[in-house]
A and B are shown apart, each in its own frame.
Chain A
Amino acid sequence: MYYAIFGSLMALTATTVAVAFVNLGALNFPVALAIAILKATLVILFFMHVKYSSQLTKLICGTAFFFLIILFGLTLTDYLSRGWFVAPGGTAGAGTQLTIGPAAPPAGEPGAEAGEGEAAPEP
């Protein structure tokens, strides 16, 4: 049975490499991640025997990923919403990347004052 799992893992590896050569636009990242998650799940369930383990073990696996998601998710609430608020005067907060792409031009944006640290300046 281990061999069957190994075979699946090989197939999935081939798939993920192949997909990398296909342009799916924004979907490339989620697809690659999904395949990786699938592979990891197979290893966890079968090679690490979690499928046949106690509820506690399953709970522990779930907990690890849950807190990882919290780390990623809550931190991203900051980074993904950084450009949403533009203070009077044009400062959008420290380290904002308003456009996706090459690094934003330094201090050339309208009214920007290299907004490091503080929130909106007093009018």
Chain B
Amino acid sequence: MTTTVLPRVNYLNVKYGVASWLLTKDHKRIGLMYLVLVAVAFLLGGIFAAGVRIELTTPQGDFVSADTYNRLFTMHGVTMVFFVLIPAVPAILGNFALPLMIGAKDVAFPKINLLSWYILVIGFVFTVAAMLFGGVDTGWTFYTPYSSLASNSNVMLTGIGIFIAGFSSILTGLNFMVTIHRMRAPGMTWFRLPLFVWAIYATALVQILATPVIAITVGMLALERGLGFGFFDPRLGGDPVLFQHLFWFYSHPAVYIMILPPMGAISEVIACFSRKSVFGYSFVAFSSLSIAVFGFLVWAHHLFVSGISPYSAMVFSFLSFAVAIPSAVKVFNWTATMYRGAIWWQAPMMWVFGFLGLFLIGGLTGLFLASLGLDVHLHDTYFVVAHFHYIMVGGAIMGFFAGLHFWWPKMTGRMYSNSMATLSALLVFVGFNLTFFPQFILGYLGMPRRYHVYSEEFQVLNVLSSAGASILAVGYILLASYLFYSLVKGKPAGANPWRATGLEWTTQSPPLPENFEETPIVTEAPYQYSKREVNVG
């Protein structure tokens, strides 16, 4: 094999200095800046999780007080939801790859793109400030009337942080939607788009339509808490459950913001590492849109035991079953893609396999919770905690890592150690299952969530869970290490180390600042892989 060298001029070395990064309008640099921010937030959220898991190794409340424990799980949730999961794939991988994949020079509004990053930073600063002042103890869900009338923790400060962070998400979604509509290269028709782009589009739909609702809800909460306005106050005849309706109107679609882009990344990786076109392309594309739309119809399944009308609950239960269908369509199509494909066992594919199994479990257990009768018993138990961690960590985070490992050579021009990456994927997989599978059992046995003490009989499973969490941490630390290492010592990757299809792989790695020397012209469908191709490792 000829030795590859890094290209002489690329977006990373075209200009040096802090100002050239902080004032950049280059979507690729902005994507990397998001990576840094999200990594910091992930570390912070992980530290809070460590606090939770350490406390839960013993049934007594001996590590922290109840109040502190409440703050720990709240801040874990707030950090992970708003500053890791929501931005991660769209803002990092989407920002980096989207313009390249459609053959554009940049997103539609590069300055607004940079503004989105700054807005997220400011939101994060407010949230960290709230933590430094003692945190919040309401749970990341901020239910009224506790959050509006009774809690004496830093609700306002955290609320402001979340409000501001929401605008980052809205502007990113807006930017991506206009980019996909108006910046596609000649010949890039809608049905020639890679599925990752469809996923980003569907996500943008959700970001645009759902996020404003939580913004106004937090605003109403702030008005009630700060000025004594009456929106949810039962003493005035208000309904605290209204807050729940409005909160979950965003927060349920939000989980689709978290999962759709990783699913898009999975489509890309599966096609490349099965050397086969994604089976049922249009079904997968439309399933992304369906998930986005249907995701708006199910929010009250979070309110099943809050006192809503049983008739309404039945409607939402039915709709919650329906929303699983497009996700299932994807899983079937991915499986069919691999069937009779030529599986190439590289790091990105390891994460895909992890994703498939864990997302499946997470999704199926969601159906348990969608069932009214079961939910009455499982609500607010560890079953729910396990369910959403399977989806969000086993699904979204693993999908994110699959995409990160896939596009890392393109982003940095370097290859990482495949054996280290494989080890990390295995550690994360084992650690994850050890952490969260026991929690399904704990929930089934009745252990409630958000309690720092529990009955003796739950201890063994809790210890297993905490042990798993430490293995998970090791896996993540290893991941960060070898990726960092690759930046300095990694082998130059060349334009297309994975022999992948897609416009982003036709340019150098790392790409030029303006992406393409000449605007590409697209003439064929995506994923034109050939099984007879020989894969050189």
Contacts and interface: CB of A to CB of B under 8 A. Distances in A.
Asked if chains A and B are in direct contact (CB within 8 A), the reply is yes
Contacts of B300: 74, 78
Given A77-B312, A103-B237, 14 more contacts: A67-B209, A70-B297, A74-B299, A74-B316, A75-B245, A78-B241, A82-B308, A82-B309, A93-B307, A93-B308, A93-B309, A95-B234, A95-B239, A118-B307
A109 interface: no
Chain A interface SS verdict (over half):
helix
Contacts of B181: 56
10 contacts: A74-B312, A78-B309, A84-B311, A85-B311, A95-B239, A103-B237, A117-B307, A118-B307, A119-B305, A119-B376
B305 A118 contact: yes
Interface string B267-310: 00000000000000000000000000000110110010111111
A94 B297 contact: no
Interface string A72-105: 0011011101101100000001110000000100
A116 interface: yes
Contacts of B249: 71, 75
A77 B311 contact: yes
B315 interface: yes
Nearest to A91: B307
Given A67-B296, A75-B245, A81 B311 contact: yes
Contacts of A74: 297, 299-300, 312, 315-316
A84 B308 CA distance: 11
Interface of B: 181, 209, 213, 234, 237, 239-241, 245, 249, 296-297, 299-300, 303, 305-312, 315-316, 376
Interface of A: 56, 63-64, 67, 70-71, 74-75, 77-79, 81-82, 84-85, 93-95, 103, 115-119
A90 to B, nearest CB: 15
Contacts of A70: 296-297
Contacts of B308: 78, 82, 93
B436 to A, nearest CB: 27
Q: Which residue, of B213, B239, B305, B309, has the highest number of chain A Cβ atoms within 10 A?
A: B309
A74 B248 CA distance: 12
A71 B307 contact: no
Contacts of B213: 71
B307 A116 contact: yes
Contact of B306 (A56, A63, A94): A94
B265 to A, nearest CB: 26
Q: Which residue, of B209, B308, B376, has the highest number of chain A Cβ atoms within 10 A?
A: B308
